[in-house]
Amino acid sequence: MKEGLSFDDVLLVPKRSSVQSRKDVDTSTLLTKNISLNIPIVSANMDTVTESHMAVALARAGGIGIIHRFLTIEEQVREVGKVKRAENVVIEHPYTVLPSFTVRAARRFMHANTVSGLLVVDEGGKLVGIVTARDLLFEYDDAKEVGNVMSTDLVTASVGTSLSAAKEILHKNRVEKLPIIDSHGKPAGLITSKDIVNQTNFPKASKDAKGRLRVGAAVGIKDDFVERAGELVHAGVDVIVVDIAHGHSDGAIAAVRKLKSLFPDNELIAGNVATAEGVADLISAGADAVKVGVGPGSVCTTRIVTGSGVPQLTAIIDCAKSAGGVPVIADGGIKNSGDVAKSVAAGAFAVMIGGLLAGTDESPGFIVTRHGARYKIIRGMASLGANLNRKEKEKSERDINDYVPEGVEAMVPYRGCAMDVINQLVGGFRSGMSYCGSKTIKEMQKNAEFVKITSAGMKESKPHDVSVL
């Protein structure tokens, strides 16, 4: 019988290193065959982890977030749209409203789409004003028409205005939004000072060819998955993730083949698998990257309920070997930055994280207080709670009593903002690269040597014989 190892069973053997500082190492990697990232971190497509807020944070940090699929198609598309609009060089299709829109409707619209301003156009589509959150801040008459509260003193620029010229105009006129108009006076774009500032604040951000933040979205393999994928592609999603618990199944392979043939230009990640054969089958069906992990996740009970799975380190090593250079993403079980280093050293191009990010401000859900400490809720996508909620959304009448959960609902400590958690993970990972004598991820994978440890070795690795403050 084959031996299966997980992260805590091994350590990376330190190697001679020419790395002078953690800053010297290059953490860039591939997410899929054609999408690169600046850090190897992906947030999990779980309903307590990734919607647009988390995806924006991940993309700004240089990674990517995958919007979960327990949403209606419309909701999921809207979350993708929010990420795509969060940062732009030029917002290509700014939201517009008519002057007859009420203040109440404008407020709702801005809130639902997380934007702080709307262009106001007349019936012929000509720009006549702009209304911003600031204009509405102290406007107490919700029934008033936007036409009566908008600013009409407009500063605009013409199509083709360069970014540096736009910056000048924004500065000279002390305005924050610069509508671009075509020769008929119709809006053809929008440049905002916030976008320009963000470009300096987040120089490592993951961006698409149009300068928008990258985002992925998950689909299943049943019911509306083709329609869902089509709508997501239409909304500009960068990568579709075919995500089911047992990705090495005829259904998953057929779904990957179908989606790749329908959307050949869109990158496709498929999973989850834990074996060399699983990876090979998904790649030959058309996957541009494969997600690896059956049962290692913080809220997973698949291994207990089904008796199936492969300890994660062995799964990563086996899968990476069989992927022939196609990226594999290690999904689940990351407890600290050392686990990120071990995953990448074992052959993963990136890691997917749920539990460690679920406690941050950017995850969906509220902070709860228990005995004076603050927590957020995480739940497995195969937990009873997540599936009750999903069935409600789908108005499905399938009997929930037949449902066998493979995940639990739990609390994780509140951890503040996602960027802080990501910085700690990436900082530790950079040091890990240095201990492996590697300046790049490729070098790390080449240099890595694991040593198997015993429980005594693990005990020695943690603080011991002291009272940790």
CB of 33 to ligand XMP, least distance (A): 21
Please tell me the distance from the alpha carbon of residue 117 to that of residue 178, in angstroms, as a whole number: 11
Binders of ligand XMP among 111-130, rule CB under 6 A? none
Q: Does residue 332 touch ligand XMP according to CB under 6 A? A: yes
Q: Does residue 312 touch ligand XMP according to CB under 6 A? A: no
Helices (H), 346-382: 355-358
β-sheet bridge partners, residue 2: none
Residue placing its CB nearer to ligand XMP in the complex, 148 or 308: 308
Please tell me the distance from the alpha carbon of residue 145 to that of residue 122, in angstroms, as a whole number: 13
Please tell me the distance from the alpha carbon of residue 66 to that of residue 50, in angstroms, as a whole number: 6
Q: Site for ligand XMP (CB under 6 A): which residue of 198, 383, 434, 438?
A: 383
Sign of CA pseudo-dihedral 252, 258, 262, 265 = positive
Please tell me the distance from the alpha carbon of residue 162 to that of residue 146, in angstroms, as a whole number: 30
319 is catalytic: no
The tokens of 448 are what?
Answer: 């890595």
Q: Does residue 244 touch ligand XMP according to CB under 6 A? A: no
- Strand duo 157-158 + 177-181: pairing: parallel
Angle CA(379)–CA(430)–CA(283) in degrees, nearest 5? 60
Stretch touching ligand XMP by CB under 6 A, among 8-16, 56-64, 325-333, 418-426: 325-333
Q: Site for ligand XMP (CB under 6 A): which residue of 295, 327, 364, 432?
A: 295
Sign of CA pseudo-dihedral 108, 114, 116, 119 = negative
Q: Does residue 334 touch ligand XMP according to CB under 6 A? A: yes
Q: Site for ligand XMP (CB under 6 A): which residue of 189, 216, 297, 338?
A: 297
Q: Does residue 360 touch ligand XMP according to CB under 6 A? A: no
Stretch touching ligand XMP by CB under 6 A, among 104-112, 157-165, 281-289, 378-386: 378-386
Residue placing its CB nearer to ligand XMP in the complex, 360 or 383: 383
Q: Does residue 300 touch ligand XMP according to CB under 6 A? A: yes
Q: Does residue 269 touch ligand XMP according to CB under 6 A? A: no
Q: Does residue 333 touch ligand XMP according to CB under 6 A? A: yes
Q: Amino acid identity, residue 252?
A: A
Residue placing its CB nearer to ligand XMP in the complex, 278 or 407: 407
Q: Does residue 421 touch ligand XMP according to CB under 6 A? A: no
Nearest to 118 by CA among 100, 138, 98, 137: 98
Residue tagged active-site, from 300, 319, 417, 436:
300
Please tell me the distance from the alpha carbon of residue 62 to that of residue 56, in angstroms, as a whole number: 10
Q: Does residue 363 touch ligand XMP according to CB under 6 A? A: no
Q: Site for ligand XMP (CB under 6 A): which residue of 230, 247, 355, 364?
A: 355
Ranked by CB distance to ligand XMP, the top (closest) residue is 407
Q: Does residue 327 touch ligand XMP according to CB under 6 A? A: no
Q: Does residue 380 touch ligand XMP according to CB under 6 A? A: yes
3-class state of residue 100 by DSSP: coil
Nearest to 239 by CA among 217, 257, 258: 217
Residues 6+ apart with CB under 8 A from 28: 36, 37, 38, 39, 440, 441
Q: Does residue 293 touch ligand XMP according to CB under 6 A? A: yes
Stretch touching ligand XMP by CB under 6 A, among 86-94, 217-225, 296-304, 313-321: 296-304
The separation between the first and the last C-alpha atoms of the chain, rounded to the nearest angstrom, is 43
Q: Does residue 272 touch ligand XMP according to CB under 6 A? A: yes
Please, which contacts does 177-181 make with residues 24 or more away whose CB atoms are closer than 8 Å? 177/117, 177/130, 177/132, 179/94, 179/119, 179/127, 179/130, 179/154, 180/90, 180/156, 181/127, 181/156, 181/157
CB of 340 to ligand XMP, least distance (A): 11
Nearest to 296 by CA among 306, 311, 281, 278: 311
Helices (H), 384-417: 384-394
Q: Site for ligand XMP (CB under 6 A): which residue of 11, 35, 37, 44?
A: 44
Q: Does residue 353 touch ligand XMP according to CB under 6 A? A: yes
Q: Locate tokens 């990734």: which residue?
A: 50
Count of residues engaged in binding ligand XMP, rule: CB under 6 A = 24
Q: Does residue 41 touch ligand XMP according to CB under 6 A? A: no
Binders of ligand XMP among 48-87, rule CB under 6 A? none
CB of 378 to ligand XMP, least distance (A): 7
Q: Does residue 338 touch ligand XMP according to CB under 6 A? A: no
Catalytic residue numbers, as ranges: 300
> Which residues of this chain interact with ligand XMP, rule CB under 6 A?
44, 46, 272, 293, 295, 297-300, 302, 331-334, 352-355, 380-383, 406-407
